[in-house]
């Protein structure tokens, strides 16, 4: 039997990252995909995560794919793709049905139908958008919340509170079109914050309740978990580049030097350390206030025991942990990417690409958050096929 090869493609505003993984033979313990090749290329033709020039984007992706194929010694035929940018949005809904069976026992078909009812209630309110993920958050049977599986219970009324992750229809059409023009079939698409969460968060953190915050160059994305389920996802149009710009204005120096100072590569007496710390803290406070406002909106402020886990290029800025703790009043730590021994990548910026490989290797019957999302995912590729060449 041929070995299972899984590819993840992370199309970012600055870099295209491709990870090729191989599933090892099943043995004792948890089997995780092994990275056998990676490819990295500068992104061209994108702006704030959106495709402006499809041909340029395709060339960038082709470069990263070719590099990964050469490193792995395999040819990529299919891939799992991540989608990010501020175009990602969440919307909550509610659905309710009467179970179909005469004895009122709730079946898997009933669970699908109640989610369908939930979706139909919002579909007219999201023009130009497509649903990436549909996630049931809570089931209620005859007015009583179900603590566990609803399937197999009996009741005359089944309700669901649900979360839908959406993105722009045109954006996802362009992205899949660019990749498939290279002869690579797109198996699935997932929101980038979710992909990163599969490798950056532990089961204990997801179960207790936590936030994964990715502070990128132009955006900060968060995904909130509770009881092992993603309950909220949000993208803010602010990132570590804003810290660089603040330093340049505050200390009156070039962007290049400001970036080096932010990263700690320059440390001399030509500027006030106190002033620098205040500039960085002010911008970080703005970022965490946005996150705190969102947590208040979903009524989870100060209520996530595992706290905030920070990743992305901006997560290494000095003083970020203390600022996060102070603003959010939650535990805070920076995330580490641990994907096993003899792996070529250690940088947490590869979390999305590797998370896509985890997604591709997972079983929809898993009881983890990964399995929950995968089992309830929307197949957006079927409707796209009519538009693609």
43-93: pLDDT as tens digits: 898 876 778 888 999 999 999 999 999 999 999 999 999 988 778 999 999
Alpha helices in 181-239 (DSSP H): 192-200, 203-208
CB 194 within 8 A of CB 223: yes
As a CATH number, domain 5-86+169-199+338-384 is 3.30.420.40
Cα separation values, 35 from 186, 243, 376, Å: 19, 33, 27
**Does residue 5 sit in helix, strand or coil?**
strand
Q: Which helix (H) or strand (E) holds 248?
A: helix 240-251
Indicate whether 388 pLDDT > 50. Answer: no
Q: Which helix (H) or strand (E) holds 137?
A: strand 129-141
Class of domain 89-166: alpha beta
Q: What's the average model confidence in pLDDT over 15-40? A: 82
Window from 237-251, 275-289, 317-331, 350-364 with minimum mean pLDDT: 350-364
Average pLDDT, the chain: 87
Q: Do domains 5-86+169-199+338-384 and 203-334 have the same CATH topology?
A: yes
Residue 388 has φ and ψ, to the nearest 5°, of: -85, 145
Q: Domain limits of the chain?
A: 5-86+169-199+338-384, 89-166, 203-334
Q: What's the average model confidence in pLDDT over 262-271? A: 77
DSSP count for the chain of H helices, then E strands? 12, 16
CB atoms under 10 Å from CB of 319, counted, come to: 12
Q: Is the pTM of this model over 0.85?
A: yes
203-334 belongs to CATH 3.40.50.10680: no
CA separation for the pair 66, 77 (Å, rounded) = 12
Of 58, 39, 43, nearest to 13 by C-alpha is: 43
87-142: pLDDT as tens digits: 899 999 999 999 999 999 999 999 999 999 999 999 999 999 999 999 999 999 99
Q: What's the average model confidence in pLDDT over 248-273? A: 85
Q: What's the average model confidence in pLDDT over 258-287? A: 87
């Amino acid at each position: 039997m041929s070995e299972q090869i899984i590819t993840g493609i992370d199309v970012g505003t600055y870099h295209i990252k491709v990870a090729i993984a191989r599933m090892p033979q099943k043995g004792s313990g948890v089997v995780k995909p092994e990275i056998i090749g990676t490819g990295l290329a500068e992104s061209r033709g994108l702006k704030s995560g959106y495709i402006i020039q499809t041909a340029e984007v395709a060339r960038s992706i082709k470069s990263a794919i070719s590099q990964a194929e050469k490193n792995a010694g395999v040819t990529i035929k299919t891939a799992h793709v991540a989608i990010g940018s501020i175009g990602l949005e969440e919307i909550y809904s509610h659905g309710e049905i009467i179970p179909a069976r005469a004895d009122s026992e709730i079946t898997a078909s009933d669970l699908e139908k109640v989610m369908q009812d939930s979706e139909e209630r919002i579909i007219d309110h999201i023009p130009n958008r497509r649903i990436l993920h549909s996630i049931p958050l809570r089931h209620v049977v005859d007015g009583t919340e179900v603590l566990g599986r609803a399937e197999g219970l009996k009741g005359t009324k089944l309700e669901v509170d649900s979360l839908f992750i959406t993105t722009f229809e045109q954006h996802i059409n362009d992205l899949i079109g660019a990749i498939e023009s290279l002869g690579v079939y797109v198996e699935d698409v997932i929101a980038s914050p979710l992909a990163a969460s599969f490798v950056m968060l532990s089961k204990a953190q997801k179960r207790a309740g936590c936030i994964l915050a990715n502070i990128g160059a132009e955006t900060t994305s968060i995904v909130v978990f509770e009881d092992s389920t993603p309950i909220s996802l949000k993208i803010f149009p602010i990132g570590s580049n804003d810290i660089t710009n603040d330093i340049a204005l505050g200390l009156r120096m070039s962007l290049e030097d400001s970036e080096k100072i932010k990263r700690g590569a320059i440390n001399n007496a030509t500027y006030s350390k106190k002033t620098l710390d205040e500039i960085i803290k002010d911008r970080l406070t703005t970022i965490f206030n946005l996150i705190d406002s969102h947590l208040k909106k979903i009524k989870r402020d100060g209520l996530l025991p595992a706290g905030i886990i920070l990743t992305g290029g901006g997560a290494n800025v000095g003083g970020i942990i203390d600022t996060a703790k102070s603003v959010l009043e939650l535990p805070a730590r920076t995330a580490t990417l641990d994907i096993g021994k003899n792996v070529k990548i250690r940088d947490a910026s590869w979390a999305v690409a590797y998370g896509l490989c985890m997604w591709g290797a997972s079983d929809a019957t898993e009881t983890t958050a990964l399995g929950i999302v995968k089992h309830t995912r929307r197949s957006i590729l079927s409707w796209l096929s009519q538009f693609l060449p």
